Amino acid sequence: MVKMSSTAAAMFLVLAVAWPLLASAQPAPSMPPLSPPAAATNNSRLEKAYVALQALKHAITDDPKKLTKNWCGPDVCSYFGVYCAQAPDDSCQRTVAGVDLNHGDLAGTLPEELGLLSDLAVFHLNSNRFCGSLPQSLRSLHLLHEIDVSNNQLSGPFPSQLLCLPNVQYVDIRFNNFCGEVPAAIFDKKIDALFINNNHFEFTLPESFTNSTASVIVLANLPRVGGCLPSSIGDMAGTLNELILLNSGISSCIPPEIGKLDKLTVLDLSFNNIAGTLPDTIGSMRALEQLDVAHNQLAGEIPESICELPHLKNFTYSYNFFCGEPHRCLEVPRIDDRQNCIAGRPDQRPGEQCISFLHQPKVHCDAHGCIAPPSPPPPPPPMHAPPPPVY
């Protein structure tokens, strides 16, 4: 999984982009409250925000922590979890710039009126019990930089309205019940972090996957995704820091071009159907700290160059069919080499399993990184008719 510190770093990077709008935002208790006339009649932005937030309050069916208890009256900037700032196009007016109700255990649905929050930059609702789909009206939130609705009970197809948000940088919809195809266009958007793991999506990694400029991509626990790791994965070198594809149904070799990802710190390809060998070009990924390729069909020897990486702290390659590892690998702070075919190491596969695997046809991958089907056996030699009898 993604380390908390890295996730927080990605969040702060997104906030830095949104800061011109949020710089003057303060939590409600430290802000001087707006008077009801100013909030209600002299500011159309706050009037619309009042309609939107009241609609959200009425759509909440359970609020065990009483987070919306003070959501009364037109002074929306005093509402708990609502953050106001100067309007981006009018410094004399205030507007709602952020809504943060994370970890509220709120139950309910999300109303279409949320589209009235036209200046919203941050929308955080993670760890609640919201169900239904995301409102179509969210496509009108053109200033939105962060949306985090993870760990809810949201459902329906991938929220395509996210593709209409020109400034969104942080997309987190993990741990929900979304299903169906993920549009290839999401990987063409200039976003910084994409978390869609632990849903019910069913799609194949598109060619546009390597167009992504995100620093963090998590497609974990999506076993019906599938696809291959293309050689163009090296094109992501300029921005990619963490790539989590565990249990994503990938059937592939690991292309040598992966070694171009010299900024990558975390690579998790575990619990897939990845075959072939570990390319020694991984030894060029000088920033790598965590590498997990466990529970695959990898074989051969572990390249020593990988274990010599200067920042490598955790190297997990258990439950494969590796037959050798350099002694240098045993000096990595944390390794897991169980259930391989490495002579002299504890907790390895039975010998008959290793022999059976070695007798299987050698794996080959095509130009797209996909495992090529084994070549058919050669045809039997032609049958020669016996010579005619001689009389």
Contacts of 345 (CB under 8 A, 6+ apart): 325, 337
Domain count along the chain: 1
pLDDT in tens for each of the 391 residues of the chain? 433 334 334 334 444 446 454 444 434 333 333 334 344 457 999 999 999 999 999 999 999 999 999 999 999 999 999 999 999 999 889 999 999 999 999 999 999 999 999 999 999 999 999 999 999 999 999 999 999 999 999 999 999 999 999 999 999 999 999 999 999 999 999 999 999 999 999 999 998 999 999 999 999 999 999 899 999 999 999 999 999 999 999 999 999 999 999 999 999 999 999 999 999 999 999 999 999 999 999 999 999 999 999 999 999 999 999 999 999 999 999 999 999 999 999 999 999 999 999 899 888 888 777 887 665 556 666 656 556 555 4
Residue 223 is assigned to a structural domain of this protein:
yes
Give the Cα separation of 13 and 128 in Å (integer).
Answer: 25
Phi-psi region of 217 (alpha: psi -120 to 50; beta: other; left: phi over 0): beta
Residue 31 is assigned to a structural domain of this protein:
no
The pLDDT assigned to 366 comes to 80
Q: Is 61 helix (H, G, I), strand (E, B) or coil?
A: strand
In this structure, how many other beta carbons lie within 10 angstroms of the beta carbon of residue 213?
15
Question: Which residues is 157 bridged to in the sheet?
Answer: 179
Comparing C-alpha atoms, which of 210, 206, 215 is closest to residue 233? 210
Contacts of 380 (CB under 8 A, 6+ apart): none
Residue 384 is assigned to a structural domain of this protein:
no
Q: What is the CATH number of the domain that holds 167?
A: 3.80.10.10
The pLDDT assigned to 375 comes to 59
139 in Cβ contact with 116 (< 8 Å): no
Give the Cα separation of 32 and 107 in Å (integer).
Answer: 31
Letter string b/e over residues 299-331, b meaning 16 or more CB atoms within 10 A of that residue's CB: beebbebbbebeebeebbbbbbbbbebeeebee
DSSP conformation class of 71: -
Give the Cα separation of 1 and 292 in Å (integer).
Answer: 10
The pLDDT assigned to 39 comes to 45
Contacts of 1 (CB under 8 A, 6+ apart): 220, 244, 268
The pLDDT assigned to 367 comes to 72
Q: What is the phi/psi pair of residue 54, to 5°?
A: -70, -35
188-233: pLDDT as tens digits: 999 999 999 999 999 999 989 999 999 999 999 999 998 999 999 9
Contacts of 364 (CB under 8 A, 6+ apart): 371, 372
Residue type, 115: G
The pLDDT assigned to 321 comes to 97
Residue 118 is assigned to a structural domain of this protein:
yes
Torsion of CA 50, 52, 53, 58, to 10 degrees: 120
Residue 1 is assigned to a structural domain of this protein:
no
Residue 285 is assigned to a structural domain of this protein:
yes
Residue 211 is assigned to a structural domain of this protein:
yes
The pLDDT assigned to 7 comes to 35
Residue 24 is assigned to a structural domain of this protein:
no
Phi-psi region of 233 (alpha: psi -120 to 50; beta: other; left: phi over 0): alpha
Q: Which domain holds residue 138?
A: 63-359
